[in-house]
Structure 1
Amino acid sequence: MENTLLIGLARQTVLERQLDVVANNIANVNTTGYKADNSLFEEYLTSGAHEDNFVGSDRRVSYVQDRGTYRDFAQGSADQTKNPLDLAIDGSAFLVVQTPGGERYTRDGGLQLNGQGQLVTVAGNPVLGTGGPIVFQPTDHDINVTPDGTITVVEGNGRTDSIRGKLRLVSFADAQKLLKEGLNLYTAGEGSAQPDTKSVVRQGFLEKSNVSAVAEMSRMMEVTRAYSQIAAMLQQQGDLHKTAIQQLASVPA
């Protein structure tokens, strides 16, 4: 196969992967606490397609290679809901939740209470405090969450606050090592969670996705246009080869 075709096919493969990343960002533009993914590319050099006796056969050909993705952990804007169980985090911290697969981490602070009075995520995973799952009593009301994550309530007909726990907030030295698992959760990957005392909890707010819908739509159009242009170029190359073969076949012996 000629170098032009090899390079074109390699570029199309990368563009297809980039389109998947962009489409996933657009699909999560309204997902609470979602962090956008971006594609990462690098140059890949290799010897080109050639005959063994071709002059200059040692010349290397430059390809583009899809190295992976990285996440934009910039904080999304805060949307005020006035719901006492909606929590946004100012800073780099994550909430810790308990799942069947172990501890996971999330920025999605849209919380609720399950039938057992546990504080859980929308998916039903218990949110962990410094002492384990946070559990409320049936008579609890006037839930208050302080900036450091301490949760207090007024119990029954009482007038004094009762503490129900303190949110366990953690951060990571290198957040890029976190791995997305689905359901807006991350695993630690090769990193390790450290207690975070600098981030601030804002009750009655939700952190919106940091995806810019306009920017992602523009990027999708750019990727689609580039893919179409390469497809047209490859079609032209194929037509040239077809014409050359037909003409050579019609040459008298």
Structure 2
Amino acid sequence: MDRMIYTALTSMNAAMDRQRAVANNLANASTPGFRQELFAVTPATLKDGSIEARAMARGLVRGADLTTARVIPTGRPLDIAVQGNALIALQGPAGEVYSRRGDLSVAASGVLENGDGLPVLGEGGGPISVPAGFSIAVAGDGTILANDPAAPREPAQVLDRIKLVSPEGSQIAKGVDSFLKVPNGGVLPPDPTARVTPGSLEQSNVETAETLVQMIDAQRAFEQRAKIIRTANDLDEASSRLMGLR
């Protein structure tokens, strides 16, 4: 009986974790460049010698779906859609992180940020800074061009180039902050061939209808495990009554 309850309880925990992951995907269905989380449940058995003590279910987010999403034109100069599989390098709280979110803007401090409020890194590895009052645009290779309003006839200045990296052949994970990163503090190599489409944004790759079905399925799985625990309790009470008849 103990084994049945323990197995059902761990399955309920896995179902709850799956619901959290699916809910996060659904909440970001309209977030530009969002990559939906992939959840997996694996069985794990605790053994003592040759005896299987308990079997449990272990659920966790195993990565992100990097499938390219739909790109829509916005006409906004600082909106970019990254082409291919490249990623934008950002300065996270604990190191370099990556995203496909390309709704860029200049913060009050003059630092170029994406829609999540993280500084965009340049090829030198530092945040890209824009001189006060300058207007900027993004070229197809990610180069940031700045124009001084006080000298409109002067050619645009090259400030830096957005650090675009390639995830090919590298291990990347998705953290609880929804950003992609290399495990153990590593960094991805720059991709000099990466291109962007200015004036456009890539949408989230979350399919709303499919995600709603996943949410319902996770809820039903939780309810089924709860029913198993109630059944185990009923069987335990029936066994106690039988023992009392002796």
TM-score by length of 2: 0.83
Structure 1, residues 49-102: CA drift from partner, whole Å, max 9, x if none? Answer: xxxxxxxx9578754333552211112221221111111101222222334544
Query: Hey, what's the Cα distance between the residues in 1 that align with 2:205 and 2:155?
Result: 39
Larger mean Cα displacement after TM superposition, 83-92 or 10-19: 10-19
1:123–1:5 CA distance, 2 compared to 1 (3 A): closer
**Partner residue, 2:129:** 135
Query: Hey, what's the Cα distance between the residues in 1 that align with 2:128 and 2:239?
Result: 74
Q: Is the 8 A contact 2:41 2:58 kept in 1?
A: yes
Q: Is the 8 A contact 1:31 1:209 kept in 2?
A: yes
1:212 is matched with which residue: 185, 207, 210? 207
Query: Hey, what's the Cα distance between the residues in 2 that align with 1:228 and 1:69?
Result: 24
**Partner residue, 1:178:** 173
**Partner residue, 1:194:** 189
1:151–1:241 CA distance, 2 compared to 1 (3 A): same
The Cα of 1:120 is off from its aligned counterpart by 1.9
Q: Is the 8 A contact 1:149 1:201 kept in 2?
A: yes
**Partner residue, 2:102:** 109
TM-score by length of 1: 0.81
| Identical residues among aligned pairs (%) | 27
The code of the aligned residue for 1:185 comes to F
The Cα of 1:125 is off from its aligned counterpart by 3.3
The Cα of 1:224 is off from its aligned counterpart by 0.9
Query: Hey, what's the Cα distance between the residues in 1 that align with 2:31 and 2:102?
Result: 11
1:85 is matched with which residue: 78, 93, 96? 78
Query: Hey, what's the Cα distance between the residues in 2 that align with 1:153 and 1:26?
Result: 37
**Partner residue, 1:52:** none
Which one has a bigger Cα radius of gyration?
Answer: 1
Give 5+ residue unaligned stretches, structure 1: 49-56
Query: Hey, what's the Cα distance between the residues in 1 that align with 2:206 and 2:85?
Result: 17
The code of the aligned residue for 2:59 comes to D
Q: Is the 8 A contact 2:112 2:127 kept in 1?
A: yes
1:27–1:175 CA distance, 2 compared to 1 (3 A): farther
SS of the aligned residue for 1:128 comes to: coil
Give 5+ residue unaligned stretches, structure 2: none
* Matches for 1:50-129 after TM superposition, within 5 Å: 58=51, 63-66=56-59, 68-99=61-92, 101-129=94-122
The Cα of 1:217 is off from its aligned counterpart by 0.8
**Partner residue, 1:23:** 23
Greater fraction strand: 1
The Cα of 1:192 is off from its aligned counterpart by 2.9
Query: Hey, what's the Cα distance between the residues in 1 that align with 2:123 and 2:169?
Result: 22
